[in-house]
Amino acid sequence: MSSTIFRHFLDLADIPAEELREILDEAHRCKKAREGLPKGAVDADASLSGHILAMLFEKSSTRTRFSFEVGMAQLGGSSITTSADDMQLGRGESIEDTAKVLSRFVDAIMLRANDHSALVALAQNATVPVINGLTDYNHPCQIMADLMTLEEQGRDLKGLRLCWVGDGNNVAMSFINAASKFGYKLAVSTPDGYGPSGQMVERARAEGAHIDLIQDPLKACANADVVIADTWVSMGDKDIDKRMADLGDWQVNEALMNVAANDALFLHCLPAHRGEEVSAAIIDGSSSVVFDEAENRLHAQKAILKWCLGK
Ligand code: CP
Ligand code: NVA
């Protein structure tokens, strides 16, 4: 077993603000250092040379899968990607045994899990770092890329007014988890029954987060610097027709962006559904930075991998 010191990346709420700041600074450095290089070229310092990342997916993925695989290649390491169903995990082998076995083969494990408790069990039993690639509860890698994107656009996160519109889902939760760490103000606008966990909102507020729960999206987005949407139907959600009906008034469109600040930016983690949570005019318009946001998954995660492995 490895005796190397390591850190898990599971929940932004549990990571000190100064460490998250260091990860973002490193992400910006990583991106700048690669300007002009082919995407497959190894970074000059090859900081994860000889390291292997295992990636386990219980749900679909485009960005998370590609950004981690490319990231490991750029860091000089390699990765093994599999659907959990193709492993014995899919036939009932325990997550605890899986954690112990994979820890003998690889240097880090990324899991995209249906149930957050599976991620926690994996981390508790692994002897290598575990990274959260999205669960039903949160999506911390995404928010690091989102915040990096805002900084790249010249925005100072401290005091920045962010407005989340739609389902109070896993991505919204990571914005809540990180609010006190970076000092932005977060308004969350959801229909009745779609709000984020009150307990987590209270925890964030107790740690200094400025979070407003404002049902009316027009009021919530008034003067916002950043407007954020995500799908109305997350992976694993069953009640599709009900969600479409209940969330219909929470679309980010021109009327909504018009009440935000003149230079407001639009974020969406993707995949997007034009005509549902966001109009085509907004996601494909000048305020949208969604493809920079997607690219920054790569740079942010390289910094997360280095932090996890103490590099
Ligand atoms: N935003 C995001 O996590 O995308 P994927 O589901 O494609 O990984
Ligand atoms: N909330 C979405 C995010 C996808 C990246 C989901 O969980 O499906």
pLDDT digits (tens, 9 = 90+) for 187-203: 999 999 999 999 999 99
Kindly report the protein residue whose alpha carbon is nearest to atom 8 of ligand 2.
234
User: How far, in Å, CA of 277 to CA of 17, rounded?
Assistant: 31
Supply the mean pLDDT for the chain.
97
Domain that holds residue 19: 12-139+297-308
Gap from CA of 234 to ligand 2 centroid (Å): 5
Q: Is the pLDDT of residue 2 over 80?
A: no
217, two tokens: 């999206």
Q: Is the pLDDT of residue 5 over 90?
A: no
Q: Indicate whether 284 and 302 sit together in one domain.
A: no
The structure tokens 């898990």 sit at 8
Confidence of residue 4 (pLDDT cuts 50, 70, 90): low
Q: Indicate whether 65 and 173 sit together in one domain.
A: no
Q: What phi-psi label fits residue 54: left (phi over 0), alpha (psi between -120 and 50 degrees) or beta?
A: beta
Q: Which ligand is nearest to the CA of 290?
A: 1
Q: Is the pLDDT of residue 25 over 50?
A: yes
Closest C-alpha among 29, 21, 22, 83 to residue 54: 83
Q: Express each pLDDT in 115-136 by its tens digit.
A: 999 999 999 999 999 999 999 9
Cβ–ligand 1 distance for 94 under 6 Å, the answer no
Closest C-alpha among 147, 191, 142, 192 to residue 171: 142
Q: Is residue 5 part of a domain?
A: no
| DSSP-based three-state secondary structure for 76 | coil
- Residue 46: how many CB atoms within 10 A of its CB? 13
Q: Indicate whether 162 and 108 sit together in one domain.
A: no
Q: Is residue 4 part of a domain?
A: no
Q: Indicate whether 159 and 183 sit together in one domain.
A: yes
Q: Is residue 74 part of a domain?
A: yes
Q: Indicate whether 163 and 281 sit together in one domain.
A: yes
Cβ–ligand 1 distance for 269 under 6 Å, the answer yes
Q: Indicate whether 186 and 71 sit together in one domain.
A: no
Q: Is residue 83 part of a domain?
A: yes
User: How far, in Å, CA of 240 to CA of 252, rounded?
Assistant: 19
pTM recorded for the entire structure: 0.97
Q: Indicate whether 88 and 187 sit together in one domain.
A: no
Q: Is residue 149 part of a domain?
A: no
Q: Is residue 6 part of a domain?
A: no
Q: Is residue 21 part of a domain?
A: yes
Q: Indicate whether 282 and 302 sit together in one domain.
A: no
Q: Indicate whether 206 and 109 sit together in one domain.
A: no
Which sequence positions are flagged as catalytic? 112, 139, 142, 230, 269, 297
Gap from CA of 187 to ligand 2 centroid (Å): 20
Tell me how many domains the chain contains: 2
Kindly report the protein residue whose alpha carbon is nearest to atom 3 of ligand 1.
64
Q: Is the pLDDT of residue 3 over 70?
A: no
pLDDT for 266: 99
pLDDT for 1: 41
Closest C-alpha among 195, 200, 11 to residue 116: 11
Kindly report the protein residue whose alpha carbon is nearest to atom 7 of ligand 2.
234
User: How far, in Å, CA of 182 to CA of 209, rounded?
Assistant: 9
- The helix (H) or strand (E) run that includes residue 132 is strand 130-132
Q: Indicate whether 41 and 103 sit together in one domain.
A: yes
Q: Which CATH number does the domain housing residue 241 bear?
A: 3.40.50.1370
Q: Is residue 271 part of a domain?
A: yes
